[in-house]
């Protein structure tokens, strides 16, 4: 009985110290964790890491069914499960000085939250926390992770606005926030950042894709299953040299398909299914010379499927079911899945089409005027000099399959 009271009192003290120190997060973290004065840490960095990790374990982890943090005991943080140390890169510290470079608790099923004290892990390059039960807000103190290269918070229970801290991480290249409950708008600055991969799918984000969308040099962009709307941006044309995979499934896009998508000469996966895209499928789509998976199903597209699209040399799966297409060239048979790739259109002599009445009603309406959507045009600028390399290049980006299988942290900073 008495023990319980003491425990409750301790929790209250911890909570109070956190609230009081809002803004001075590091101080709060220090207040919550006692460091044995007899311990000698190899460096102040590793002492800070100890405080950060113990703060997390002692105050913000409520369930750890796989016992991943059970060995988070004592000053040897580099030996903790899921914690990876590496020599500091460049002129970061004394020669050979070691720092905590990665935390990987993927698939840990851990319940808790992300304390502001994580901002003490200032040398972190990788933070992989996918498939846990972390809830609450992403702490703004993550801004202090100036070397963070990969942030994977996917498949947790995080809430709140799009975490502004990620817009202020100069080394960030890989951002995975999918399968959480982030809500509201995505700041347009996100698309001006030098990210290589952006996964935001399956949140509660709500915004129109901004017209600077095409500024993003990302090779993979997955925004499926949010509540966007507005135009499929013509600025996609600005991603011609870099974009490899784009999935904009079920985002409420409401415009025509801009011919500029045909500038995506490196794209292998292009999926805009389950939107409200209208008008024709422009023949320029045949400019996607490397496309393998092309999905425009569940839209309001009309007219004939351009033959040149079906003739694309690498195309393996072209799905356009649930539209209002009226013509399908014979060469499409090679690439359109026979069972259901073209069903529910207005195609003569094909099985499982819409009823003649549905098709007649659709084509009785005046044709779509693409200009009426008032989407911003894309006017290419003259070629620019390549951007300077980032100050800290971090580990080389891994090859990202979809879905992303989190790579193990690298043995060393590069
Ligand atoms: C975790 O530790 C607890 C208590 O020591 C033990 O009962 C449980 O079986 C452990 N779970 C796993 C997955 O090792
Ligand atoms: C294309 O993207 C670059 C940044 O990558 C940007 O500076 C430029 O303004 C964009 N061009 C257009 C026409 O949007
Ligand atoms: C073609 O792609 C769609 C998704 O875009 C998928 O559902 C379907 O199973 C694929 N079909 C084949 C035969 O690969």
Do 322 and 207 share a domain, yes or no? yes
Do 232 and 332 share a domain, yes or no? yes
Whose atoms come closest to the Cα of 240: which ligand? 2
**Is 356 inside any structural domain?**
yes
pLDDT for 386:
58
Ligand 2 center from residue 383 Cα (angstroms): 9
Phi/psi for 102 (5° steps) reads -150, 145
Measured from the CB, is residue 337 less than 6 Å from ligand 3? yes
Residue 271 CA, closest ligand 3 atom number: 5
Among 182, 217, 237, where does a domain finish?
182
Do 166 and 101 share a domain, yes or no? yes
Structural domain count, the chain: 2
Do 69 and 51 share a domain, yes or no? yes
Name every protein residue with a CB atom under 6 angstroms from any ligand 1 atom. 66-67
**Is 10 inside any structural domain?**
no
Cα dihedral 345, 348, 353, 359 in deg (nearest 10): 60
Do 143 and 196 share a domain, yes or no? no
Measured from the CB, is residue 215 less than 6 Å from ligand 2? yes
Ligand 3 center from residue 338 Cα (angstroms): 10
pLDDT tens for the chain, residues 1 to 414: 344 433 333 333 333 333 333 345 554 544 578 899 999 999 999 999 999 999 999 999 999 999 999 999 999 999 999 999 999 887 667 777 899 999 999 999 999 999 999 999 999 999 999 999 999 999 999 999 999 999 999 999 999 999 999 999 999 999 999 999 999 999 999 999 999 999 999 999 988 888 899 999 999 999 988 877 889 999 999 999 999 999 999 989 999 999 999 999 999 999 999 999 999 999 999 999 999 999 999 999 999 999 999 999 999 999 999 999 999 999 999 999 998 999 999 999 899 999 999 999 999 999 999 999 999 989 876 665 555 544 444 443 333 333 334 444 344 433
Ligand 3 center from residue 341 Cα (angstroms): 8
- CA distances, 411 to each of 100, 102, 178, 275, 401 (Å): 12, 10, 27, 43, 21
Whose atoms come closest to the Cα of 298: which ligand? 3
Whose atoms come closest to the Cα of 243: which ligand? 2
**Is 241 inside any structural domain?**
yes
What CATH number is associated with residue 352?
Answer: 3.80.10.10
Do 251 and 355 share a domain, yes or no? yes
Asked whether the beta carbons of 60 and 129 are under 8 A apart, the reply is no
Residue nearest to atom 1 of ligand 3 (CA): 317
Among 152, 182, 212, where does a domain finish?
182
**Is 263 inside any structural domain?**
yes
Ligand 1 center from residue 321 Cα (angstroms): 50
Q: For 213, what's the count of Cα atoms within 13 Å in the CB-facing half-sphere?
A: 26
**Is 15 inside any structural domain?**
no
Phi/psi for 98 (5° steps) reads -100, 145
Q: What range does the domain containing 74 cover?
A: 41-182
Measured from the CB, is residue 319 less than 6 Å from ligand 3? yes
Do 160 and 56 share a domain, yes or no? yes
**Counting every residue, how long is the chain?**
414
Among 182, 206, 236, where does a domain finish?
182
Phi/psi for 283 (5° steps) reads -60, -20
**Is 59 inside any structural domain?**
yes
**Is 401 inside any structural domain?**
no
**Is 377 inside any structural domain?**
no
């Amino acid at each position: 009985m008495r023990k319980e009271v003491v425990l409750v009192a301790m929790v209250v003290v911890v909570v109070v110290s956190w609230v009081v120190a809002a803004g001075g997060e590091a101080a709060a973290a220090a207040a919550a964790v006692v460091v044995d004065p007899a311990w000698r840490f190899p460096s102040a960095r590793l002492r800070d890491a100890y405080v950060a990790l113990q703060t997390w374990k002692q105050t913000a982890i409520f369930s750890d069914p796989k016992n991943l943090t059970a060995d988070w005991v004592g000053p040897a943080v580099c030996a903790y499960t899921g914690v990876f140390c590496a020599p500091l890169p460049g002129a970061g510290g004394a020669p050979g000085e070691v720092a905590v470079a990665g935390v990987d608790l993927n698939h840990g099923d851990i319940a808790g939250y992300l304390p502001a004290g994580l901002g003490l892990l200032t040398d972190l390059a990788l933070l992989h926390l996918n498939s846990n039960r972390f809830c609450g807000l992403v702490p703004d103190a993550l801004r202090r992770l100036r070397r963070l290269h990969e942030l994977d918070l996917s498949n947790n229970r995080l809430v709140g606005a799009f975490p502004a801290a990620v817009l202020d991480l100069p080394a960030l290249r890989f951002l995975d926030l999918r399968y959480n409950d982030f809500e509201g708008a995505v700041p347009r600055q996100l698309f001006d950042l030098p990210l290589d991969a952006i996964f935001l799918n399956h949140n509660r984000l709500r915004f129109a894709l901004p017209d600077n969308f095409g500024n993003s040099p990302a090779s993979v962009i997955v925004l499926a299953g949010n509540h966007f709307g507005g135009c499929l941006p013509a600025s996609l044309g600005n991603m011609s040299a870099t974009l490899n995979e784009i999935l904009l499934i079920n985002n409420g896009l409401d415009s025509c398909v801009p011919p500029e998508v045909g500038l995506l000469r490196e794209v292998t996966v292009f999926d805009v299914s389950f939107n409200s895209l209208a008008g024709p499928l422009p023949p320029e789509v045949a400019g996607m010379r490397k496309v393998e998976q092309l999905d425009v199903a569940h839209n309001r597209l009309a007219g004939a499927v351009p033959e040149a699209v079906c003739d694309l040399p690498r195309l393996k799966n072209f799905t356009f079911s649930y539209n209002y297409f009226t013509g399908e060239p014979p060469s499409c048979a090679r690439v359109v899945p026979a069972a259901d790739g073209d069903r529910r259109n207005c195609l003569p002599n094909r099985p499982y089409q819409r009823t003649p009445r549905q098709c007649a009603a659709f084509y009785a309406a005046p044709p779509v005027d693409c200009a009426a959507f008032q989407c911003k045009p894309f006017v290419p600028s003259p070629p620019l000099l390549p951007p300077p390399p980032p100050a800290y290049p971090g580990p080389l980006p891994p090859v990202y399959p979809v879905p992303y299988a989190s790579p193990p942290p690298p043995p060393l900073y590069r």
